[in-house]
A and B are shown apart, each in its own frame.
Chain A
Amino acid sequence: MTGDAFRVRHVDLDAIDADADAGDSPSLSIFWWKDLPVGMRASLPDELPYTKARLRQFTAEFSAAQMAARSTSLGAPIQATDEGRPKSALSLAAAFEAKNLIDGLDELATASSASAQDISVVICTRDRGPALAECLRSLAGQRSAPGEIIVVDNSRDGNARMVCMQFAEVRYIHEARPGLSVARTAGIRVSRQAIIAFTDDDVEVHAGWTAEIARAFAEHDVEALTGLVLPARLDTVAQRSFQFDMGGFGTTFVPLVFGRRFFEETRPNGAHVWRIGAGANMAFRRSVFDRIGLFDERLGAGAAGCSEDSEFWYRLLATGGACLYEPRIVVFHHHRSDWPGLRRQMRAYMKGHVAALVVQYDNFGDRGNIVRIWKKLPAYFLRTFLRTLFEGPPGRIGILAAEVEGWLAGLQFLLRFGWRKRRTLPPQALAEEKT
């Protein structure tokens, strides 16, 4: 990894013929076709500017992938499988019949103008005033204004109140009990709309965020949505390491349905629910909370670490529900900029992950969760260690050490029987699974 800051730039493939603004710094180019995000690519200055032939190649590859994933005549929607990357269901006959693909793409790329009046946006925050202000500014600029914006202040002294007062439309509530799940629950309780969309205080949302959530729920019969989380900046080594070495928050640009198939195929190794998305960009129909309960208060930042979002998806899938990943729903996340912060974060992720596996095992009795704790995770540590030793990057070892620490810290939850008994699952959800 080079020491230079990466520029995050946006390229509309529909609008340009030549790559005029490449500059001379390394960059992560995020490609769009009008309002549709279609792909991204990191490049060093030697590889820039992209030649016309390169742009044309990107356009062809990205457009074909979008068409295969979004047009029903070509096999959409794509079901997520255990392969981890989208595999289209395109057939020879369908590909053969396909015509006017670029016109079709133009149609798909039209931005949503759906009303977002039945969406409650919930942002949980804790001691991050300036970042929260940026987040709220981006929400104030939505093409379709949401029905309400709720800020749940999880700080001890309510320090986000001042920030919120600058935004007339924001409802402020203070939840002094620490924990992200607790705060989210508080947000859900006071919200009034039929759809609840969550984002984090270190995120700026795209101007079409609420409109795209509204459209996706209108078009698809799912209880949950997740979306694309792009990096806002890649200035520091920690931010680049998180994005490039750890995979960031995912790099898939085609919609995927995470349903029964995905759950069954990944279940033997502890269903890979973390692949579904990120808590920084997710939305639910209110009814799902009545059906399967709220976020587990033992998990999440401020409690076991994280994974309160993926444990919720686990419950959703285990009880027959589905989540649509729709990359048109875009947010920009500010990754942790300092190295110790990144290490702490990775430690917390792994600790929370192990805790969530224990919870998932207790809720549904899937052995796969235990297999993952004792077999898959140690194997992943060993593999990563060996690969890093020979292939680098050197910084990865430090992060790996943090992950191992987090794993060790997470093992305690196996033995904390009192903690394990404190379930927050509504009884009817469990009953449904058993029948």
Chain B
Amino acid sequence: MGYRLVEIELSKPLAPIELAPQHDGVGLIARWQDRLIGFEMIALPASSVLSAERLKAVADERFADRILVAKVDVELSARRRFAAETALPNLSIAICTKDRAKRLSRLLSSLDLIRWKSAFQSVEIVVVDNASVDATTREAVECFKDVRYVFEPKAGLDFARNAALRATTGTLIAYLDDDVVVDRNWLAGLAKACRDNPGTGGFTGLVLPFRLDTEAQIVFEQRGGFGRGFIRNEFHNTRFDNPLHPVGSGSLGAGCNMAFDRALLIELGGFDEALDTGSPLPGGGDLDIFYRVLRSGRPMIYEPEYAVYHEHRETIEQLRRQYWSWGLGMMAFLVKSRRTDEELRARHRAMVRWWFFNQFKALARAARGLRGRDFRFGIAELWGGIYGLAGEYDRSSARVRTIREQNR
């Protein structure tokens, strides 16, 4: 079981795609003149061939509209309309990792291909080793030219993210998780977003699957994955079409690919170290920082060309745990924000209500369709939410205090 991931360039003639015996589908990553414009999953019999005609039909249906938009956009740039002239800042890339030297090397290799020809004034890369048990992480970093290594003994993703904030010097700081690989236009996409949107507090980008080799990875991507689509988006402190905004900050993007004005993060006090603490509470930190950036009055931009490929969970069991952690992280974040941001309490309350309503709706739908796996994922997320609502933020804060004391 597995989907073959294929990149197609729509401005060139389309060739048929052949599947190996172990493949029962195709994940199409579509570009038009190198610009990412769509992603589509197609189930197929093993060892079959996706003909050029069928591929063309998919492109007609799913990608043609986006090509037209991209074309108009190119024409508009050529006419120099709406062009903003902003100098690009210094960029720091921060990678937080723990005991995953192999994946880290993979990510650093993908960065090494693009970092030397970017439009940014300067690009520094800092790897924060978050209390790895052995020296393999350090050794992996030493294989690459001009990558700094920082050790953070306090285990917890947000400890590491804050260490990166202190260790870097750039005006803009881009965070990457160690389980991603960057797209070849990742830096160019970030540069474009930066140039076009002066005064932005932060950026999030597209997250595509790195591979779809296991059932869990396919299922996760089919259920939406981390994808936020191929259309640029802009987020502010309030939003007409969503009265709960910015409390539902998950719609902005994902923590594995985000960038911020570094001075703003320092001013906001950095990431909340009681969220994203590894196995007990593996989430919520990104929601919290998106929320706080928007609440500070600075906008955030979602830019699809600023894209990474994420290695999804391999097994169904790990995936179920991920959904559990989404519920947990969401509620821990909501409990925390409710306490610290009194002004929006009504929205936090409404968000909890909406979230549970939505979960129950999904459960009912799964039950009606006799989809046992979706039902179990739903239960996991719901259970995570209940557990998160029942004091997880306080338990996590206590654990984090202990870690701080131990590392004093």
Q: CB within 8 Å of B: which residues of A?
A: 1, 17, 26, 42-47, 51-57, 59-61, 63-64, 67-68, 74, 88, 90-96, 98, 100-102, 390-393
Contacts and interface: CB of A to CB of B under 8 A. Distances in A.
Given A51-B234, A55-B82, A57-B232, A98 B239 contact: no
Contact of B241 (A42, A88, A100): A42
16 contacts: A1-B243, A42-B241, A44-B236, A44-B240, A47-B240, A51-B197, A52-B83, A60-B70, A60-B72, A67-B72, A68-B68, A74-B68, A92-B10, A96-B10, A101-B71, A393-B243
Interface stretch (B55-63, B100-108, B210-218, B313-321): B55-63
Interface stretch (B73-81, B152-160, B259-267, B281-289): B73-81
Contacts of A46: 236-239
A95 B238 contact: no
A180 B72 CA distance: 46
A46 to B, nearest CB: 4
9 tightest Cβ-Cβ pairs between the two chains A and B? A56-B82, A53-B196, A64-B68, A390-B357, A92-B59, A60-B73, A64-B69, A46-B236, A95-B67
B121 interface: no
A88 B63 CA distance: 11
B219 interface: no
A98 B69 CA distance: 11
B68 A56 contact: no
Nearest to A58: B82
Contacts of B301: 53
Contacts of A91: 60, 64
B65 interface: yes
A102 B80 CA distance: 13
A8 to B, nearest CB: 14
B348 to A, nearest CB: 15
Contacts of A93: 56
A96 B37 CA distance: 14
Interface of B: 10-11, 56, 59-60, 63-65, 67-73, 75-76, 79, 81-84, 196-197, 231-232, 234, 236-241, 243, 301, 350, 353-354, 357
Interface centre among A61, A93, A98 (most CB of B within 10 A): A61
B56 A92 contact: yes
B326 to A, nearest CB: 19
Interface centre among A42, A54, A92, by most chain B C-beta atoms within 10 angstroms, is A92
A390 B65 contact: no
Given A42-B241, A90-B64, A92-B10, A61 B82 contact: no
Contacts of A17: 81-82
A67 B238 CA distance: 32
A43 B68 CA distance: 26
Contact of A102 (B76, B232, B350): B76
Given A46-B239, A60-B69, A88-B64, 19 more contacts: A26-B240, A44-B239, A44-B240, A45-B238, A52-B83, A53-B82, A53-B234, A59-B76, A60-B70, A60-B72, A64-B68, A68-B68, A90-B64, A91-B60, A94-B64, A101-B68, A101-B71, A102-B75, A391-B357
B65 A64 contact: yes
Contacts of B234: 47, 51, 53-54
Contacts of A63: 72
A101 B65 CA distance: 13
A177 to B, nearest CB: 45
Contacts of A42: 240-241
Contacts of A43: 240
Nearest to A244: B240
A352 B83 CA distance: 52
B363 to A, nearest CB: 15
A102 B72 CA distance: 7
A408 to B, nearest CB: 28
Contacts of B357: 390-391
A15 to B, nearest CB: 11
Nearest to A105: B72
A388 to B, nearest CB: 11
Contacts of B82: 17, 52-53, 55-56, 59
A74 B81 CA distance: 25
Contacts of A92: 10, 56, 59-60, 63-64, 67
A1 B244 CA distance: 11
Nearest to A41: B240
Contacts of B83: 52
A57 B68 CA distance: 13
A101 B84 CA distance: 22
Contacts of A94: 64
A391 B347 CA distance: 11
Contacts of A61: 69, 231
A88 to B, nearest CB: 6
B354 A391 contact: yes
Contact of A90 (B68, B76, B79, B238): B68
B243 A95 contact: no
Contacts of B353: 390
Contact of A392 (B69, B196, B243): B243
Nearest to B355: A390
Q: Which of A43, A94, A95 counts the most chain B CB atoms within 10 A?
A: A95
Contacts of A47: 234, 236, 238-240
Nearest to B294: A46
Contact of B64 (A56, A60, A95): A95
A201 to B, nearest CB: 31
A33 to B, nearest CB: 11
Contacts of A59: 72, 76, 81-82
Contact of A56 (B10, B65, B76, B236): B76
B196 A68 contact: no
B354 A390 contact: yes
B240 A56 contact: no
Interface centre among B60, B76, B82 (most CB of A within 10 A): B82
Contacts of A74: 68
Contact of A52 (B11, B63, B196, B239): B196
A358 B50 CA distance: 50
A43 B69 CA distance: 23
Contacts of B240: 26, 42-44, 47
B60 A90 contact: yes
Given A52-B82, A53-B82, A56-B81, A98 B236 contact: no
B73 to A, nearest CB: 4
A102 B241 CA distance: 29
B379 to A, nearest CB: 20
A47 B275 CA distance: 29
